[in-house]
Structure 1
């Protein structure tokens, strides 16, 4: 079973909070997660990058698009950058060239790596290599 964890971007303090248990909400006075104006919540995907770093919604990642149809069987590098998101029941990476299934991207790319997140590294958003 996948471990359920969250992190939250504290808008007032401009720092990331990691939430490893449900008591965190009570301890920090969060009554309604959906109507909280001070925190943006992100869920842990249950997956880790090449460095063993946990991948959360909102992470900016680099991946190599190993598409054998595109490369004719050759393994030419096509480095993409994108944001991890949850859509239509699956974790995906949204890039300027399309959407990629997160799990398949990890399986097919041993160099898959988190390079930042949308809050602490806004300059990475929509930036292609």
Structure 2
């Protein structure tokens, strides 16, 4: 994945919603250079002019989260068979009906089906059918 493709989404556990587009994250570190247990999200909002988002007319506000109040999920840099972005926490189904969750491992990168790495799978057979936050019932079908 190229840095220009770097993307993420934030699951807000208190509001049960994603904060996805038009935001940036600011982590805080203490004097010992250890990350604090909270982070700040700058949310950019754009004014609609005649139904079109005008990026010249914008505002910004900050939202603060403790680590246990939100989850930051990374974009894999890949798309499913329908062209949908695949993020950490997405639930994927293959052509055989197998269902699993995209997770991240520092050893292997993004993992979908147990010992398979996401880049090794045939993306033309995978479809994002939900995510672990909004559709946990999909995992009960396994």
Q: Same-fold call, TM > 0.5?
A: yes
- Aligned partner of 1:101 in structure 2 is 117
Structure 2, unpaired ranges of 5+: 26-39, 43-60
Deviation at 1:19, TM superposition (A): 4.1
**Distance in 2 of aligned mates of 1:20 and 1:5:** 11
CA contact (8 A) 1:82 1:126 kept: no
Please tell me the root mean square deviation across aligned C-alpha atoms, in Å: 2.2
Task: Output one character per residue of 1:65-116: Cα deviation in whole Å (capped at 9) or x when no partner.
Answer: xxxxxxxxxxxxx43110001111411104xxx33211121xx252310010
TM-score normalised according to structure 2 size: 0.65
Q: How many residues align?
A: 107
More strand by proportion, 1 or 2?
Answer: 2
**In the TM superposition, what whole-angstrom CA distance separates every residue of 1:47-67 from its partner, at most 9, and x where no partner exists?**
111111110000000124xxx
Greater RCO, 1 or 2 (C-alpha within 8 Å, sep 6+): 1
1:68 is matched with none
Query: What SS does the corresponding residue of 1:119 show, helix, strand or coil?
Result: coil
- TM-score, normalization by structure 1: 0.70
As a proportion of its length, which structure holds more helix? Answer: 1
